[in-house]
Amino acid sequence: MRNIVAECQALRGPGSVKISNRELPELKSGEVLIEVVAAALNFPDLLMTYGKYQFKPEPPFAVGMEGAGRIVALGPDVQKFKVGMDVMFRGKTGAAATYKVADASDVSPMPTTLDFEAAAAFGVTFQTAYVALAKRGRLKPGESVLIHGAGGGVGQASVAVAKAMGARVIATASSAEKGEIAKQSGADHVINYMEADFAQHVMAATGGRGADLVLDPVGGEILNKSLSCLAWQGRILTVGFASGSFGNIDLSHLQSLSGSIVGVRAGEYGRRNPEAGQIAFNEMLQLTEQHGLSPYIGKVWELGEIVPALKAMETRSVIGKQVIRIDR
């Protein structure tokens, strides 16, 4: 059986991604074969084409960390799935293809509230949001949480998850359009940080107390400035650096607040402790079913449009998650 794959052939950015025809390997113990219906792009996919992500696969490698489809074959010893089941899957690479060989531990039944395109765009960002907020940030109902980049994939998911967990959500975005996404996802307050001082607005919205928890996928000056609106014993979660800068936190100020800064790598959370990762994922799915959580999809592309889709992510010309539809 042949597999049509969007394959990064050199670490020179999106232009090095080509459509290739590869033969599928024989299934090993614990693996399943999924006929992919849709895959989704995440910022790490773009970084990997440059060799700039923490995980650095050697070319050639298939692009895509997550997707959704239907199981068409089972490897030895796989018992929790059946052929014909609709599932979503996650991993480090390989989603943007007509077929995906996945470890059964990376596959989950599709939530009944999601279609294939939404399910494809769901796992990475919502798992990141849940692990960050619930497991690393220990968010409690009634706390105030500041979420940056709320119009992006992780930011939008974090707004939805935080609201479902009972938090008071303050969101920042770089445009009115992105702010509207945050509002639709449940944000109580939305701040356009290009037009206003977000720290001042956060202090006003919290009665001068500040945010109990800050979730930041942006880094740089946004991360630095977040310290000025952090509550006593507040926590800052760093989940990414979309700005291209790591930031430079004033540790003396952080200490004066008895605050903490916590790094989040949601994928490693589950890989290093599979049991904890599965528990977190199940809890997140339960929250999804209860509150109807869903990603905001900005644009759907065809597999042959993978290069412009990645470039649109690089130039930020598309708002929300980008989905690759796998037509046959």
pLDDT tens digits along 280-298:
989 999 999 899 999 999 9
* Torsion angle of C-alpha atoms 62, 68, 71, 77, degrees rounded to 10: 70
* Confidence band for 316, pLDDT divided at 50, 70 and 90: confident
State how beta strands 17-23 and 2-8 pair.
antiparallel
* Separation between Cα atoms, residue 257 and residue 234, nearest integer Å: 7
- Indicate whether 328 pLDDT > 80: no
E strand or H helix that includes residue 231: strand 230-238
Residue in the structure block whose two tokens are 């070319």: 59
> Is the CB of residue 138 less than 8 Å from the CB of residue 167?
no
Nearest to 324 by CA among 101, 16, 63, 58: 63
Average pLDDT, rounded, for the chain:
94
Residue 62 backbone phi and psi in degrees, to 5: -80, 135
Residue 270 has a pLDDT of 86
- Indicate whether 1 pLDDT > 80: no
Residue 182 has a pLDDT of 95
Side by side, the strands of the sheet bearing 230-238 are 189-192, 168-173, 144-147, 211-216, 230-238, 260-263
Residue 280 has a pLDDT of 94
3-state class (DSSP) for residue 96: coil
Residue 104 has a pLDDT of 94
Nearest to 66 by CA among 305, 282, 266: 266
- Indicate whether 7 pLDDT > 90: yes
Residue 310 backbone phi and psi in degrees, to 5: -65, -40
Over range 251-255, report the average pLDDT. 95
Tokens of 204: 């006003």
* Separation between Cα atoms, residue 194 and residue 41, nearest integer Å: 26
Residue 35 has a pLDDT of 98
Distances (CA, A) of 220 to 113, 127, 234, 245: 36, 24, 19, 5
* Confidence band for 327, pLDDT divided at 50, 70 and 90: confident
> Is the CB of residue 163 less than 8 Å from the CB of residue 144?
no
Comparing 70 with 53, the larger pLDDT belongs to: 70
Q: Which residues of 9-19 are buried (b: 16+ CB within 10 A; e: fewer)?
A: eeeebbebbee
* Confidence band for 31, pLDDT divided at 50, 70 and 90: very high
* Separation between Cα atoms, residue 231 and residue 8, nearest integer Å: 44
Which range (76-80, 234-238, 254-258) has the least confidence? 76-80
- Indicate whether 62 pLDDT > 80: yes
Q: What is the pLDDT of residues 162-194, one digit of tens each?
A: 999 999 999 999 999 999 999 999 999 999 999
Residue 151 has a pLDDT of 87
E strand or H helix that includes residue 18: strand 17-23
Residue 181 has a pLDDT of 94
**Rounded percentage of the chain residues whose pLDDT exceeds 70:** 100
Residue 72 has a pLDDT of 97
Residue 171 has a pLDDT of 97
Residue 271 has a pLDDT of 85
- Indicate whether 318 pLDDT > 90: no
Over range 250-279, report the average pLDDT. 93
Distances (CA, A) of 185 to 107, 151, 195: 26, 10, 21
Which range (30-39, 90-99, 176-185, 264-273) has the least confidence? 264-273
pTM assigned to the model: 0.87
> Is the CB of residue 311 less than 8 Å from the CB of residue 22?
no
Residue 234 backbone phi and psi in degrees, to 5: -75, 165
